[in-house]
Structure 1
Amino acid sequence: MQRMIFVNLPVRDLARSTAFYEALGFAKNPQFSNDDASCMMWSEVIVVMLHTHEHFLRFSPRPVSDATKACEVLLCLSAETREAVDALVQKAGTAGGGVDPCPVQDHGFMYGRSYEDPDGHIWEVVWMDPAAVAESNAGNTDAQSRTVTA
């Protein structure tokens, strides 16, 4: 079985958040969705679980933070091209999200932008040129130095 990642997010309005993520290209999996949660598939291995606040609190002993006022995590999705980065951020804006809450990153070999969902969760979208990354790592045997951070 392939390893998967499940990102669990508390949301104020489940229907609105579900529609937002569908507008970005996430597919709702009805098998794991109900009145308290929506299972949103980005890919076969990346799943975003949207939970009402009440439902989310069944899994966490800590209070739900207001993502519009505090940042606990930055989420990042890869894109196949620079244009795909721009297209996804544009879709987020059209669907009612915030566009570029973080500075645009353009390092030549890496390009990234960000969007904010209706609850203030920040998502980065990043494209990296694999050839440029491979070239910059050529001859470097230190595994830690091969790590590229956004």
Structure 2
Amino acid sequence: MATVFISLPVTDLERSKAFYTALGCTINPEMSDENGVCVVWDDNIFFMMITREFFATFTEKPIADPRVTLQTSASFALDSRDEVDAVIAKGLAAGGTEPQPAQDYGFMYSRDLDDPDGNSLGFLYMVPGGAEQEPAAQATTA
């Protein structure tokens, strides 16, 4: 299994820590300092929340403002619709926003959550074997 590190620019490290721990993540203090915080999603997935200023030292490209430009979205498949709704509720309570209504495709239920900096996260539940049963399913909002 590969280990995944997703680096995201943020404006406030303490706010990011509070938001992601509210979602159930932990912080790895050994990989955190004044420039960035290592958010542990699970044993193989880590978010590196890096100050915008320090993030800019890794590239010559301009750093996008995730509040107005979506460049990437990390999505997580969960075990039930209830788990999707629960993580969204936690994120909204911790200062996140839901940029669009839930999408219900019958075989897949999906909701998006933007963190306080505008970085996009997706959470979904897929009915086991459901995609094969409903290949022409149309999206509806929940």
Q: Same fold (TM over 0.5)?
A: yes
Matched, 1:80 2:76: no
- In the TM superposition, residue 33 of structure 1 has moved relative to its aligned partner by 0.6
- In the TM superposition, residue 77 of structure 1 has moved relative to its aligned partner by 1.1
Larger radius of gyration: 1
Q: Distance in 2 between matches of 1:103 and 1:23?
A: 22
State how many pairs are aligned: 135
- In the TM superposition, residue 131 of structure 1 has moved relative to its aligned partner by 3.0
Give the corresponding residue for 1:41: 40
- In the TM superposition, residue 122 of structure 1 has moved relative to its aligned partner by 1.3
Could you list the runs of 5+ residues in structure 1 that have no partner in the other structure?
138-144, 146-150
SS in 2 for 1:15: helix
Moved over 4 A (4+): none
SS in 1 for 2:42: coil
Q: Distance in 2 between matches of 1:116 and 1:106?
A: 19
Query: Deviation per CA, 1:69-119, whole angstroms, max 9, x where unpaired?
Result: 1111122111110000000000000001102x0331101111011111010
Q: Distance in 2 between matches of 1:95 and 1:12?
A: 16
RMSD, aligned CA: 1.6
SS in 2 for 1:72: coil
Could you list the runs of 5+ residues in structure 2 that have no partner in the other structure?
136-142
Give the corresponding residue for 1:28: 27
Q: Normalising by structure 1, what TM-score?
A: 0.84
Q: Distance in 2 between matches of 1:58 and 1:7?
A: 16
Aligned pairs for 1:1-150 (under 5 A) are 2-99=1-98, 101-133=99-131, 135-136=132-133
Q: Which amino acid aligns with 1:34?
A: D
Q: Normalising by structure 2, what TM-score?
A: 0.89
- In the TM superposition, residue 30 of structure 1 has moved relative to its aligned partner by 0.7
